Structure 1
Amino acid sequence: MQANFRGKHLITLREWTKEEIDTLMDVSFDLKKKFALGIPTRYLQDQTIFLMFFEASTRTRNSMEAGITQLGGHAHFLDTSTMQISHGETPKDTAVILARFGHAIACRICAWDTGNKYIREMAKWSPVPVINLQCDLYHPLQGLADLMTIIEKFGDTKGVNVSIIWTFATSHKKPISVPLTQSLLFPRYGMNVTLAYPEGYHMPDWVYEEAKANAEKHGGSFRITHDQEEAYKNADVVIPKNWGNWVADPEGDTTSSNTQSEALLANKSWKCTLKLMELTSPNCVYMHALPADRNNEVEDEVIDGKWSVVYDEAENRLHTSKAVMALTMGGRNAYHG
């Protein structure tokens, strides 16, 4: 088990070894058990984390705020529109000052070709851990919760057939960070990953190359299909979720660009339905990072039905976030399993 995490940034899971992620899973399950039993886990007594949000949030903000409280610390929620960032303060200056005030910095910024660079610039100058709450390319905390959920439901992940499927949505343009993170992470755990999408909603080429390399190294597989029925056939896990076209509309008006796209409307049939779920394996589970665009991305009968584990998945955001904070903010001096 990897032991020394203190001060380690979490910007992408690509920069964490599998052994380190395994440790995160072990700690996540331990913290979940203690949460259920009411056992105190005040490993980060009086520590402060700053949560910077450029975009709206429900699960990410609340899992982090509740998590640090349960660990004995405190979160400061920072709406960046009310910070000097809105007047042009640099990520360097923001990171250096916040690091002197507390013990970790976390940030969500999803603007294309800006988000990951901004978080990395903060990490360059911060002597305390910087945690990516979602950027234009990655959502590591969601990836960890998804992995934990699959382990809970299936035990051994090797050979589990997981389909990450694009779906139609009109609520807002969603970044590629969730399916991209899943595509890179799941093959590292020996899963057979299918990425399904209509033409025009592909990932960057390097994602496919790395996903295939991860699969080859760890005994899984990675394939692409443009046939949604094919993606559902014999799947053990389906994750039908919308993401935007980062090539044709890289900036993405978060209120209207997705709804006005003719290409989007042409793929309205890409929807998770009862009929498609009947093609899956007998023990298949339906997952979604939430919020789901109900009756566009998925029928209510699916998300509220026997396949759905979305609320288990959402709860695991709490336990995995706590594990990340307990290890990176405290490391061996704080967490005692």
Structure 2
Amino acid sequence: MEDWLLKNDNATSFLYKHVDRRLGYQPSDPAPPSATTRTARHVLTMCDLSRDEVMDILRVAAAMKESRKNYLDTGYDRFSETLKGYSLLTLFEKPSLRTRVSLEVGMNQLGGQAIFYSIADSPLGVKESIQDTGRVLSRMCQGITARVMTRKALRSLAQVAEIPVINALDDYAHPLQMLADLLTVLEYKGSFANFTMTYMGDLENNVTYDLMRTAALMGYNLNLAGQGDIEKSVWDEVNALAESSGSKVKVCPTAAEAMTGVDCVYTDSWMSYGIAKEEEEARMKLFMPYQVTAELMKLAKPDCIFMNCLPAARGMEQTAEVIDGPQSVVFDQAENRLHAMKALAVFMMAPKRFGEIMGLGRTNKGKKKGGTMFSAESIQRICVLKTLIQRRPEIPDDALLIFSDLDEVPSAQAIQMLRVCKTKPSAKDGPWIQAHYPMPYNLRVGCKARKKSELHYQGVFTTMGFLRRKKGLALRYNMRRNLIVPRAGIHLTYVGSRADVDYKLLHHGAFL
């Protein structure tokens, strides 16, 4: 899956520079929200998210993954302070290496912290009521994840918590795993259109239930083959979602039927935590007809991928030939737990910041809901000025900062050219307009203007994009009397916060 955010922000890895700039809040910005300043929202199953929200989370997860790759070369991760000052409490009743590591590393990479607490020996609601626990934690942390045996304790905590509660696994759902799975599918398939997945094995577990919900939510098809009774409440949720999405979720009578012509094959451990040792042999006999083998994989499409949420047991739910073969993507899938968790954490704990991140890649011709083009221009100008003042403290208070329109920042060369002309810039003649992305522009300086007290200038974009002129503007200039300053600065389009400007200035720092 491509880095959607990076693409829309017109920045590539080679533009990174080692400068002291970060995408995050500054000391003057508001503190992390407390329980008294926000309404809690929880993610207990995939039904708690809409399709659009899931896609937004996946886009940000892909951007976070790409930014982290660049970090190894540049030392810069633009999300490294996104959750600065935030604390995530991670409650564990069931152990998990991948879940704990992804939560703790993810929060660290975002600038926050994850606090591990085992409730295996100190269950919720024993020493004090869950109500008291939830209220206390809500005053100390900004989010809670819980990996528990049953759904009852998790739902009891969510009912009283005033901060977001995220299900890191219970006996009914596993939404963190689902987001990682979806990110993996997008990386290999590009979209969910005309996509069919097959799940093989134990049908009566949390992964199966949320795979069903996820398919119905996102609109792709899911074949099931295995043993176990699926709870009626799950089917009710799936059928309600499938009505609007067009998804088809069905149980197939044989493994061969479920595998034929599919794009992805998914399986899970037959021996989940809590399975008694004496039950293992019986479970192996029960599920062996649904073991994913190389022969069964031949029934799927040639480019079919194989997934397992791990841990995996070779010789049980799949053969070694399959999981270690070229169609297996299980380790990419495991890595994506980290990136999906980071995106969901920001979405849940810092929705305003998540909106700012998404805003970097969205365009609406400069208009904001409830505002006008002029109000949007004013916001952008203020954002640019504040960022310049903060990042360039050497600029004197009486300095003249020149903008060829609302959001173009001239280079030192362009400023020097204006000084040579020794005329006053005119604000009423705007530049050409370039939609969508920040990019360098040339500056056309008219040293002989219509009025001796004015200097007319115009930003002319030389890179690809949709160009349109203000009515008749180009006809006012005599090219023989104008000077052209190449790569005169940067054009910052559609910024909505200082973080947006800070990030864009980082990638074009050579111009300043």
Please state how far the C-alpha of 1:256 moved relative to its aligned partner: 2.2
* Matched-pair contact (CA < 8 Å) for 2:42–2:166: yes
* 1:21-77 deviations in Å (ceiling 9; x for gaps): 222112111211211221241111121111000011011111111100001011111
In 1, distance between residues paired with 2:57 and 2:181?
Answer: 13
Structure 1 unaligned spans of 5+: 168-173, 246-251
Q: Say whether residues 1:265 and 2:265 are aligned partners.
A: no
Matches within 5 A, 1:12-161: 12-38=45-71, 39-41=77-79, 42-83=81-122, 85=124, 87-110=126-149, 115-161=150-196
Please state how far the C-alpha of 1:92 moved relative to its aligned partner: 1.9
Q: Say whether residues 1:11 and 2:39 are aligned partners.
A: no
* Matched-pair contact (CA < 8 Å) for 2:204–2:229: no
Q: Which residue of 2 aligns with 1:255?
A: 276
Cα distance change of structure 1 residues 253 and 260 upon mapping to structure 2, 3 Å threshold: farther
* Matched-pair contact (CA < 8 Å) for 1:158–1:189: no
* Matched-pair contact (CA < 8 Å) for 1:129–1:329: yes
Specify the code of the residue in structure 2 equivalent to 1:27. Answer: V
Specify the code of the residue in structure 1 equivalent to 2:87. Answer: T
* Matched-pair contact (CA < 8 Å) for 2:199–2:225: yes
In 2, distance between residues paired with 1:66 and 1:279?
Answer: 39
Q: Which residue of 2 aligns with 1:171?
A: none
In 1, distance between residues paired with 2:258 and 2:42?
Answer: 35
Cα distance change of structure 1 residues 277 and 333 upon mapping to structure 2, 3 Å threshold: closer
Identity %: 29
Q: Say whether residues 1:188 and 2:217 are aligned partners.
A: yes
Structure 1 residue matching 2:288: 3-state secondary structure: coil
In 2, distance between residues paired with 1:327 and 1:181?
Answer: 20
* Matched-pair contact (CA < 8 Å) for 1:149–1:316: yes
* 1:112-142 deviations in Å (ceiling 9; x for gaps): xxx2221121111111111111011000000
Cα distance change of structure 1 residues 294 and 314 upon mapping to structure 2, 3 Å threshold: same
* Matched-pair contact (CA < 8 Å) for 1:234–1:280: yes
Q: Say whether residues 1:233 and 2:254 are aligned partners.
A: no
Cα distance change of structure 1 residues 280 and 142 upon mapping to structure 2, 3 Å threshold: same
**Residue 330 of structure 1 is aligned with which of 350, 354, 376?**
350
Q: Which residue of 2 aligns with 1:248?
A: none
* Matched-pair contact (CA < 8 Å) for 1:159–1:190: no
Task: Tell me which structure has the larger Cα radius of gyration.
Answer: 2
Cα distance change of structure 1 residues 84 and 225 upon mapping to structure 2, 3 Å threshold: closer
Q: Which has the higher contact order (CA 8 A, sep 6+)?
A: 1
* Matched-pair contact (CA < 8 Å) for 1:239–1:286: yes
Structure 2 residue matching 1:151: 3-state secondary structure: helix
**Residue 210 of structure 1 is aligned with which of 234, 237, 240?**
237
* Matched-pair contact (CA < 8 Å) for 1:136–1:175: no
Structure 2 unaligned spans of 5+: 1-37, 72-76, 358-512
Q: Give the number of aligned pairs.
A: 314
TM-score, length of structure 1 as denominator length: 0.86
Q: Say whether residues 1:285 and 2:305 are aligned partners.
A: yes
TM-score, length of structure 2 as denominator length: 0.58
Indicate the larger mover: 283-292 or 31-40. Answer: 31-40
In 2, distance between residues paired with 1:332 and 1:85?
Answer: 31
Structure 1 residue matching 2:318: 3-state secondary structure: coil
Cα distance change of structure 1 residues 93 and 257 upon mapping to structure 2, 3 Å threshold: farther
